[in-house]
């Protein structure tokens, strides 16, 4: 089993920045990739960014490219999401997810094995 704990959410004005953290514990050696998803009220959960644990290759949703950066610290088993130039549309609960499968399709939430509890990000206009 792998446990994921997110932190760093909060309230920020449009144009501001926040950094989310996701600390993994347990059988972390089994993780192939980790990603961030978000879910706004009344909307489906959507992929934000992902990173392959072994080589650090990253993937982003078009809506956040150039504004968000995902990174990892292998020694700390932690993934970060640096969010800049935040917009009110970025308001959502942000979830960290981890997948074991080497063939994982990163944007597909059903392919992840572990999820964090979520952290609220609110961007005011």
* Beta strands 78-83 and 18-26, pairing class: antiparallel
The number of angstroms, rounded, from the C-alpha of 81 to the middle of its chain's C-alpha atoms is 6
Residue 62 is predicted with a pLDDT of 97
Q: How far apart are CA 63 and CA 41, in angstroms?
A: 18
Three-state DSSP at 44 gives coil
pLDDT at 54: 85
Give the dihedral of Cα atoms 59, 44, 9, 77; nearest 10 deg.
-40
- Per-residue model confidence as pLDDT tens for the chain (125 residues): 999 999 999 999 999 999 999 999 999 889 999 999 999 999 999 999 999 988 899 999 999 999 999 999 989 999 999 999 999 999 999 999 999 999 899 999 999 999 999 999 999 99
d(CA 113, CA 64) in angstroms, rounded, equals 24
What is the structure's pLDDT at 103? 86
CA dist list (Å): 83 to 16, 92, 111: 8, 13, 24
């Amino acid at each position: 089993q792998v446990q994921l704990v997110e932190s760093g959410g909060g309230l920020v004005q449009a144009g501001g920045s926040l950094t989310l953290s996701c600390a993994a514990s347990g059988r972390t050696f089994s993780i192939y990739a980790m990603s961030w998803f978000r879910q706004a009220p009344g909307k489906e959960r959507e992929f934000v960014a992902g990173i392959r644990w072994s080589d650090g290759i990253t993937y982003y949703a078009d809506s956040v490219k150039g504004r968000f950066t995902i990174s990892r610290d292998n020694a700390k088993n932690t993934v970060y999401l640096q969010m800049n130039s935040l917009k009110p549309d970025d308001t959502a609960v942000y979830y960290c997810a981890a997948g074991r499968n080497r063939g994982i399709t990163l944007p597909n939430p059903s392919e992840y094995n572990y999820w964090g509890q979520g952290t609220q990000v609110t961007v005011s206009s």
